[in-house]
Structure 1
Amino acid sequence: MKQNLIELNQVAKSFKAADGHDRSVLEKLDFQLAEGEIVALLGKSGSGKSTLLRIMAGLIPADTGQLSYRGKAIYGPVAGIAMVFQSFALFPWLTVQQNVELGLEAQGVASDERKSRTDAVLELIGLAGFGGALPRELSGGMKQRVGIARALVTNPDVLLMDEAFSALDVLTGETLRNDMLELWDENRIPTKGILIVSHNIEEAVMMADRIIIMSSNPGCIRSEVKIDLPRPRDVDALEVRALIDEVYGLMTMRTAQETAGGGTHTRHLGYRLPETDVSRIEGVLDLLAQAPFNGRADLPQLAEEVDLNDEELFPTYEALSLLGLAILEKGDIILSPLGQHYADADQTLRQELFGQQLLTHVPLAAHIRRNLEQESSGSLPEQPFIELLEEFLKADEAKRVLEIAIEWGRYGEVYEYDYHTGRLSLPDDDDD
């Protein structure tokens, strides 16, 4: 039986918000990373993926719960665990050689050994001859190779990768991903386990032995998909496409908590509205209504058609579903009868329908409208609404949610907003 490299039991983490209240990021989370496996971690914004990785790396502590590496409790950075960041995190004034040597220097490794190990890992990662270059002389893909080399040079048992390929263009990211898999599958690196945070479903299916899907606010594990297919995997193979569809379905599935009525997320004023704008919502809806989709599309195929990544599209799918314009079903998106009516409507009717659905399905918009109607002047400052949202969300999230509600409400002519004064008001036709 394979030994667990990392174990988390009932781990929870909160952060203090600007209003002084604690905001739960992770809640009662159990997780194991076993020897010999690559695990991909997927989840929408706010699911705590990066926070979870930093807890495992010992960079930040958990509030409650137990976490261990090879059976020993983690209280801080662990020598056997290394991390690769999305932002490259290179020191611009240091050469490639010096950047890669930093971890070894911190461990007290002698100069000669640092150089020999760095030379070896730079050759392994495809950067032989670039040791004297400065980061500004490198492409994005080469910078990320330096970041990976800096992690690998310490011979880590566990490699944590926080969206390590997402800042790169598609071709560069795919090349680097395949190079990493080749090193792993051919046992050319000493690493025994890899955990990848990603927003790219296809990337997760191509790389992982297991995919963990997290829910949001607070983050916890809601689904797991095991993948037994050998690598390298053919992205066009039927079984791979079926897995991609399955994961898309799980990612777009709303939990019982999110779909129930009463005081749960969809009815709650603190529901974190999907970060997408009206033009993108209508753009995807119009594309979906046209040939070749004709009202129904496979989500991966639709993503290829609009040339946007999953992280950009998922909020739009959620918005279409939230507003009753589309239905998400097992990796497909289907226009609802109202969505089809919306696609056929002229601009005036579209705005009317948008406003009606907004008041019906978005409690925050209905709350703003109701308060404006009760105010004799038909006008109110935005600050009380921000303070209300801060009871449920962090300050920056509260501000962003109100911004989305304002944009949607203005388009649906539910209320107006003055950017100079920060005041909301009823539309002119409703003032009397």
Structure 2
Amino acid sequence: MTSVILLKTDALTKTYAGADGELPVLGGIDLEIREGEIVALLGKSGSGKSTLLRCLAGLVPASSGSVTYRGEELRGANPGTSMVFQSFALLPWLTVQQNVELGLEAQGITPAERAQAAAEAIDLIGLDGFESAYPKELSGGMRQRVGFARALVVRPDVLMMDEPFSALDVLTAENLRGELMELWESGSFPAKSVVLVTHNIEEAVLMSDRVVVLGSHPYGTIRDMFDIRLPRPRQRHSTAFEAIVDAIYQVMTGRPAKPEAAAQPGKRTLANTPLPTAGVDGMAGLAEIVAQRGAGEADLADLAEDLGLEVDDVLALVDGLELLGFVELRNLELVLTDQGAAFASADVRQSKLLFADALTRAPLVQFIVNTLNRSDNGAQRAGFFCDVLAHHYTQSHLERQLETATDWGRYAELFAYHADSRQYRLEKAAHTHP
């Protein structure tokens, strides 16, 4: 028997207004969410997964294409969904009971009925005894339980979760994930389906029946889908589990399907070469660790496990090192280039010089340096760079791009940034670099 299609997107696109036109975020998304499944939307930062979730929830309108709920095109908020946020989003002046009742109150449910329904949701999610507590009295894990109870009390068709465990410590997140999966398997889960946004590959494989991998070259598209047919509870270290995780790693760390779509040296621009959110210390540390592993190469998954991290935690660092020409990623093998080996073994001063040379591959950093060199006083306001980036990025991405460029340029001593005046300035030390 074919399961009911609860949500569907057809050729969904989403763009936001930029300084000189529309900035694409999602491009041509075709997706179905069926009754009885957990679907994970997985991708790196900037792949559009949270935007897609909000389009499915009817919180963000499509620019073109359509989103339908039970066959009806959405024209506003989706009545069949509820949301759990990363930031808990509780009202601090309300008790646990009152926070959980909010959705029911908005639906016009009588006080007696919503009190009863909230009590049942509170019991279901393990919050008994905390009904009269305020959010400030609760730990992060308990606050997120309130968020789940508030979302589930309205018994939605589809529960939407936007990185709901990322603000929690590892043990708390693991415990809450496990309890939710037990509840799902018990048949008592108040929602018919779940859509989970995550950047954590293992989390996606642990929880979902289907993993949708989004890519962002140059905007969010579905790169691949994986059906997860492993029995629950799933064992992280089983051969089958690791094989699926490795296959997803391969897709997430791979190049675009069309090689010509990748930014090539000499063709890099502000638009096609965004800077990954990677700090200099993190990249230097990762390069040193790879250099210590014999031939200057390491299996990415094994390396992350040895460090006690998820592979997702090091992907941005890998992207940064790859952009700068310090590493090459061959399948899942991270290999230091000659420049990368020199960077990994250099003292602080030499490291800065090598990093400055490598920044010729980072268009935004070079644009800042060139602008300062052309300025009469070697200075420029940050607002100028914000205005230029607004032609290519949304506001949140713009801010992250400029933060990363500032961090990299400061380390290489190419320029200084003065927060009080919001001004970049070319310093004398910068003139010693190529």
Q: TM-score higher than 0.5 here? A: yes
TM-score for both structures, normalised by structure 2: 0.89
1:93-108 correspondence runs (5 A): 93-108=93-108
Show CA shifts across 1:122-151 (max 9, x none). Answer: 111111222222212211111111111111
Counterpart code for 2:282: R
Specify the alignment match of 2:56 in structure 1. Answer: 56
Match in the other structure for 1:364: 364
Which residue in 1 is equivalent to 2:247?
246
Contact 1:246 1:330 in 2 (8 A): no
C-alpha distance in 2, partners of 1:272/1:379? 25
Q: Distance in 1 between matches of 2:266 and 2:219?
A: 16
Question: Who is 1:221 aligned against?
Answer: 222
* Match status 1:259 vs 2:262: yes
Aligned match of 1:210: 210
Tell me the C-alpha RMSD between the 2 structures: 2.6
8 Å CA contact retained: 2:415, 2:424: no
C-alpha distance in 1 between matches for 2:245 and 2:430: 48
Name the CA distance, whole Å, in 2 between partners of 1:372 and 1:147.
48
Please state whether the residue corresponding to 2:199 is helix, strand or coil. coil
Of stretches 386-395 and 226-235 in structure 1, the one that deviates more from structure 2 is 386-395
Say which of 281, 284, 287 aligns to 2:286: 284
State the Cα distance separating 1:364 from its structure 2 match: 3.1
Please tell me whether the aligned partners of residues 245 and 330 of structure 1 are also in contact (alpha carbons under 8 angstroms).
Answer: no
Q: Against the structure 1 CA distance between its residues 424 and 406, is the aligned structure 2 distance closer, same or farther, given a 3 Å change threshold? A: farther
How far off is 1:394 after superposition? 3.0
Q: Determine helix, strand or coil for the equivalent of 1:196.
A: strand
Q: What does residue range 344-355 of structure 1 map to in structure 2 within 5 Å?
A: 344-355=345-356
Pairing 1:312-331 to 2, within 5 Å after superposition? 312-331=313-332
Q: Does 1:191 align with 2:203?
A: no
- Percent pairwise identity: 44
Deviation at 1:274, TM superposition (A): 0.9
Q: Whole-Å Cα distance in 1 between the matches of residues 28 and 63 of structure 2?
A: 11
Q: How far apart, in 2, do the equivalents of 1:203 and 1:70 lie?
A: 28
Inter-CA distance 152–284: structure 2 relative to 1 (3 Å threshold): same
Rounded to whole Å, the distance in 1 between the matches of 2:138 and 2:375 is 62
User: Please, which moves more after superposition, 343-352 or 115-124?
Assistant: 343-352
CA contact (8 A) 1:48 1:219 kept: yes
2:253 & 2:402 partners in 1: Cα distance?
23
Indicate how the Cα distance of structure 1 residues 14 and 263 shifts in structure 2: closer, same or farther if over 3 A, else same. farther
Structure 1 stretches of 4+ with a deviation exceeding 6 A read none
* Structure 1 residues 427 and 377: alpha-carbon distance in aligned structure 2, compared to 1, 3 A threshold: farther
Residues 355, 412 of structure 2: 8 Å contact kept: yes
Structure 1 unaligned regions, length at least 5: none
Q: Deviations over 1:354-386 (max 9, x none)?
A: 222221x2233344445556x485824255444
Does residue 45 of structure 2 align to residue 45 of structure 1?
yes
Give the C-alpha shift of residue 260 in structure 1: 4.2
Aligned partners of 2:46 and 2:397 also within 8 Å = no
Alignment: residue pair count = 425
3-state SS in 2 of match to 1:422? strand
TM-score normalised by length of structure 1: 0.90
Mapped to 1, the partners of 2:12 and 2:427 lie a distance apart of 44
Structure 1 residues 399 and 153: alpha-carbon distance in aligned structure 2, compared to 1, 3 A threshold: closer
| Cα distance between partner residues in 2 of 1:180 and 1:333 | 35
